[in-house]
Amino acid sequence: MKIKSIDSGSEVQVCDCLVISIDTAGKLGKTAQGVNDTQGGWLERAFARGDISGKRLDTHLVPSTMDGGPAAYLIVGLGDAKSMDEGAAYELGAVITRRLSDRARERVIVASKDFCTEDHFRAFVTGAWTGTAGQDLYQQKPKCYAPLELVFLDGNESLAASGTILGEAMNSTRRWVNEPANFLFPKAFAEQALALGKQYGFEVEVWDEERLANEKCEALLAVGRGSAHESVLVKLRYRGGDSNARPVALVGKGVTFDSGGLSIKPSPSMEDMKCDMAGAATVLGTIVAAARLGVKENIFGYCGLVENMVSADCFRLGDVLRTRSGKTIEILNTDAEGRVVLADVLNVALDDQPQCMIDLATLTGACLVALGTDVCGLFSNNAEFVDMVRMAAEIVGEPVWELPMFDFYADQIKSKVADIKNMGDGRWGGAITAAKFLQEFVGDTPWVHIDIAGPAFADSPKPFRDAGATAAMLRTLIRMLESRAAS
């Protein structure tokens, strides 16, 4: 898809579709009003009759009766114009290209000013990219088509360029997560990272199993031991800040497939477990976006990549693992593997003395029980830092909710044989006991854990996105990194 901006003053353009807006009150966008006024008032009449609504994300594709100019109009509901924000702009951008992805089109023109102000235009363009891609990676005949050319009337070109960077980073992230585990195994992820580091100018270091053993990452290695695929730790270093400024660390859970191990998952719960590396994919996608945007921060990424499988050599219940930090873990459930991997990865991140640290992980089903499928759980040891993440999420329109981290929750992960165990007592508060486990490995560093188990991978589609991977929290992370760099 090629993105272009043209001046709305220029002549009516021949195109496959002109995209215009209407709000819930029936108020037409400026371009929509022009179409209405030069064509006998049909849009106003259609609204009055109830044939088109202005409900947010409603779409009506109407073929034109006229020769020349647009072959069709896509009328998109804005919703309540007063409640427009960055999140709405993102979804509107996405619903447009997704609605038009059913077949190939050459040229689609979007009346940008019908939809958003300049403040939200970057998000609008980001959405326009994510609307073009879905989970149909291996269908002989594609399901999602992007227009060859997407033209924004009066679009700001530099914002369109940065929106494109974000949209492409989200689509890459989504693709990695949607890739099945037979294609995307730990080393395949590392290859992607190496290629992207070369392309966009950030350092990539890959620790293979030999190096991981030398580094005493026994916990990470134990989780991956049952797999035929070698485990790896991928370190990413993007330097956009002062050379002496301490980095922001982003840590990602990268379980390329989670069978549950010996505590094996029932088939229905295992179906989507190729998505269990979404944290790592989001870290990589965020660093690619930050590098391409030139965010003025040093941002280091740490992705722990393993496959959790069953074999004669896999880790067992009752095993005690010595983590890189020295803390020992008793394994009481091999399906609580993410926290075991992250124990070592968080410790590796601490080596670089980050100013602060965020980890992203599809960590617990319990987080879905607590918050539902669309809300990420936040867990932190630092009120100021979690506020910063929460504010960024609110601005971009990604729902998050902080859960408590009271000390007494930690009683639940005390072990009789080791320092801690990898399971709470029973399942109550499971998202929190998982977070308390992680907290054992972050020291005093300001830290936020984001449990993305719900939002990272969707069972069903929405008007503005396909089912499958979503790249949840990527926009939030970029917004947060940008606002840190600006302050």
Catalytic positions are 265, 339
By beta-carbon proximity to Zn ion, the closer residue of 59 and 263 is 263
Q: Where are the beta strands (DSSP E) in 135-222?
A: 149-153, 203-207
Residue 405 is encoded by which pair of tokens?
A: 């981290």
Strands of the sheet with 420-421, listed across from one edge: 320-322, 328-330, 420-421
Give min distance, CB of 352 to Zn ion, in A. 25
Contact 196, 288 (CB under 8 A): yes
Q: How far is the CB of 364 from Zn ion (least distance, A)?
A: 8
Which residues in the 138-197 window bind ligand BES by CB under 6 A?
A: none
Separation of first and last alpha carbons in the chain: 35
Q: Is 94 in the site for ligand BES (CB under 6 A)?
A: no
Question: Counting contacts by CB under 6 A, is residue 307 touching ligand BES?
Answer: no
Q: Of 362 and 470, which has the nearer Cβ to ligand BES?
A: 362
In the shown chain, the binding pattern of residues 3 to 42 toward Zn ion, with x for contact by CB under 5 A and - for none, equals ----------------------------------------
**Footprint on residues 249-268 left by Mn ion (CB under 5 A):** 258
Of 447, 399, 455, 456, the C-alpha closest to 250 is 447
| Comparison of 226 and 338: residue with beta carbon closer to Zn ion | 338
Q: Among candidates 344, 341, 380, 347, which has minimal Cα distance to 361?
A: 341
Rounded Cα distance, 144 and 268, in Å: 27
Per-residue binder mask for ligand BES (CB under 6 A), 313-352, x = binder = --------------------x-xxxx--------------
Check binding of 365 to ligand BES (CB under 6 A). Answer: yes
Segment (H or E) for 92: helix 86-99
- Which of 334-372 are b and which e, b meaning 16 or more Cβ less than 10 Å from the residue's Cβ? bbbbbbbbbbbbbbbbbeeebbbbbbbbbbbbbbbebbe
75-83, 337-345, 392-400, 477-485 -> range binding Mn ion (CB under 5 A): 337-345
Exposed, middle or buried, 55 (CB in 10 Å: 0-12/13-18/19+)?
middle
**Residue 87 contacts which entry, Zn ion, Mn ion, ligand BES, none (Cβ below 5-8 A, type-dependent):** none
**Among 340, 361, 359, which residue's Cα sits nearest to residue 223?**
340
Q: Where do the DSSP E strands lie in 335-385?
A: 356-361, 376-380
CA distances from 424 to 171, 339, 361, 370, 412 (A): 36, 12, 18, 16, 5
Residue 421's SS3 state is strand
What part of residues 307-366 is at the interface with Zn ion (CB under 5 A)?
338
- Residue from the set 289, 366, 420, 442 that interacts with ligand BES by CB under 6 A: 366
Instruction: Tell which one of 16, 91, 276, 440 touches Zn ion (CB under 5 A).
Output: 276
* Residue from 290, 453, 458, 473 binding ligand BES (CB under 6 A): 453
**What is the nearest approach in angstroms of ligand BES to the Cβ of residue 315?**
14
Given a contact cutoff of 8 angstroms between Cβ atoms, the answer to whether 475 and 396 are in contact is yes
Site pattern 293..332 for Mn ion (x: CB under 5 A)? ----------------------------------------
Question: What DSSP string describes 435-479?
Answer: HHHHHTTSTTS-EEEEE-TTTTEESS-BTTB-SEE--TTHHHHHH
Question: Which residue's CB is nearer to Zn ion, number 255 or number 291?
Answer: 255
**Considering the rule CB under 6 A, would residue 248 count as an interface residue with ligand BES?**
no
Q: Tell which positions 234-263 bind Zn ion, by CB under 5 A.
A: 255, 258
**Contact between 362 and ligand BES per CB under 6 A:** yes
* Residues 6 or more apart in contact with residue 334 via CB below 8 angstroms: 223, 260, 261, 262, 263, 308, 314, 315, 316, 317
Closest distance to Zn ion from the beta carbon of 343 (Å):
14
Closer Cβ to ligand BES, 190 or 453, answer by number: 453
Q: Can you tell me the distance from the alpha carbon of 384 to that of 434, in angstroms, rounded to the nearest whole number?
A: 22
The nearest distance, CB 433 to ligand BES, in angstroms, is: 8
Contacts with Mn ion by CB under 5 A lie at 258, 335, 337
Q: Which residues bind ligand BES (CB under 6 A)?
A: 258, 276, 333, 335-338, 362-366, 423, 430, 453
Residues that bind Zn ion (CB under 5 A): 255, 258, 276, 338
